[in-house]
């Protein structure tokens, strides 16, 4: 029981802090936190493949962008509510995930990475050339609709209301992703990362399991894309390009794919660093690249890995052991 309270206490404190955060920070910083929450969902969806499944994908932006386009088009042209638009954006990401996943989950290693990259570029080129639907490089702009709950109408144009809406969706998504890690499918995903042949030998259908995981990852990436499009009230091919695919990889790696909350830390850290660097220097991307190289060389397990290593050494000191 004590361990359970210790596990949940930090999470409850973080949620409480997020609830009162609008009273503590400026509107600009609140928008930055909204960005962090959206990319946290995106990074956690990628971590289902990379950190938990051991699959390096260069095409996860396709599901993010596909979900974003689906959300915007449905809201703008079919007058769907925002929650329904974001949900269908997630389903669009899942549909694309199962369509591509039929082919890609058969592959491993370099073949898997290159095939996901090829599919990502296919969606990118399609969005760029199919201007009558996607607007091409000009993209699609739309007005974020208000939220209707029974007889109540909530103005989501207001930053405060939009913040709490994104917070609610983020908590739901993170809760679902956390629950998935506790299910037999989540444990099987970890098992296949360690030894897929052994998992297949003891009777698991590893192909079907990989396909389901790939589809679920596409769903949550589509939800994140729908939120991002609604936040910016705009969607363009930058939601699908290689930069976006690289960003989610960096977020997951920086935070540490070996832990569940590592990608959340990475999403927050990368968003904050990019904001600070872009306000200080013009060539901020070079500095970002240098910091990433240093992290790869000296902290391959990410920020969460540094924390776990320090905690392990502290525990050893408490027990009177010699730290390694």
Q: What is the pLDDT of residues 90-133, one digit of tens each?
A: 999 999 999 999 999 999 889 999 999 999 999 999 999 999 99
CB 70 within 8 A of CB 92: yes
Q: What is the mean pLDDT of residues 22-41?
A: 95
Q: What is the pLDDT of residues 203-260, one digit of tens each?
A: 899 999 999 999 999 999 999 999 999 999 999 999 999 999 999 999 999 998 878 9
Q: How many CB atoms lie within 10 A of CB 118?
A: 14
H helices present in 241-283, as ranges: 242-255, 262-280
Name the pTM for this structure.
0.92
Domain ranges across the chain: 14-243
- H helix or E strand, kind and range, residue 144: none
Which residue has tokens 């051991």?
Answer: 54
CA 155 – CA 147 distance, rounded (Å)? 7
Sign of CA dihedral 22, 233, 86, 121: negative
CB 273 within 8 A of CB 287: no
Q: What is the pLDDT of residues 139-182, one digit of tens each?
A: 999 999 999 887 788 999 999 999 999 999 999 999 999 999 99
């Amino acid at each position: 029981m004590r361990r359970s309270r210790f596990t949940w206490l930090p999470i409850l404190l973080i949620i409480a802090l997020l609830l009162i955060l609008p009273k503590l920070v400026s509107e600009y910083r609140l928008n930055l936190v909204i960005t962090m929450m959206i990319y946290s969902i995106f990074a956690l969806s990628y971590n289902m493949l990379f950190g938990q499944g051991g699959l390096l994908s260069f095409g996860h932006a396709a599901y993010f962008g596909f979900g974003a386009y689906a959300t915007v088009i449905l809201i703008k042209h079919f007058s769907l509510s925002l929650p329904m638009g974001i949900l269908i954006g997630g389903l669009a990401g899942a549909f694309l995930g199962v369509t591509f996943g039929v082919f890609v989950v058969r592959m491993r290693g370099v073949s898997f990475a290159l095939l996901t990259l090829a599919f990502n570029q296919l969606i990118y080129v399609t969005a760029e050339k199919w201007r009558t639907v996607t607007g091409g490089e000009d993209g699609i702009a739309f007005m974020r609709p208000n939220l209707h709950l029974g007889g109540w109408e909530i103005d989501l144009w207001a930053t405060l209301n939009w913040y709490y809406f994104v917070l609610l969706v983020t908590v739901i998504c993170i809760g679902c992703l956390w629950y998935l890690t506790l299910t037999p499918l989540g444990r099987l995903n970890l098992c296949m990362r360690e030894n897929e042949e052994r998992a297949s030998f003891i009777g698991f259908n590893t192909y079907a399991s990989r396909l389901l995981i790939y589809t679920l990852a596409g769903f949550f990436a589509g939800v994140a894309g729908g939120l991002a499009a609604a936040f910016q009230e705009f969607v363009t091919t930058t939601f699908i390009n290689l930069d976006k695919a690289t960003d989610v990889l960096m977020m997951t790696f920086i935070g540490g794919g070996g832990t569940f909350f590592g990608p959340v830390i990475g999403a927050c850290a990368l968003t904050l660093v990019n904001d600070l660097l872009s306000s200080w220097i013009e060539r901020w991307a070079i500095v970002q690249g240098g910091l990433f190289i240093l992290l790869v060389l000296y902290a391959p397990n990410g920020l969460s890995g540094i924390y776990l290593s320090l905690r392990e050494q502290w525990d050893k000191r408490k027990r009177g052991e010699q730290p390694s």
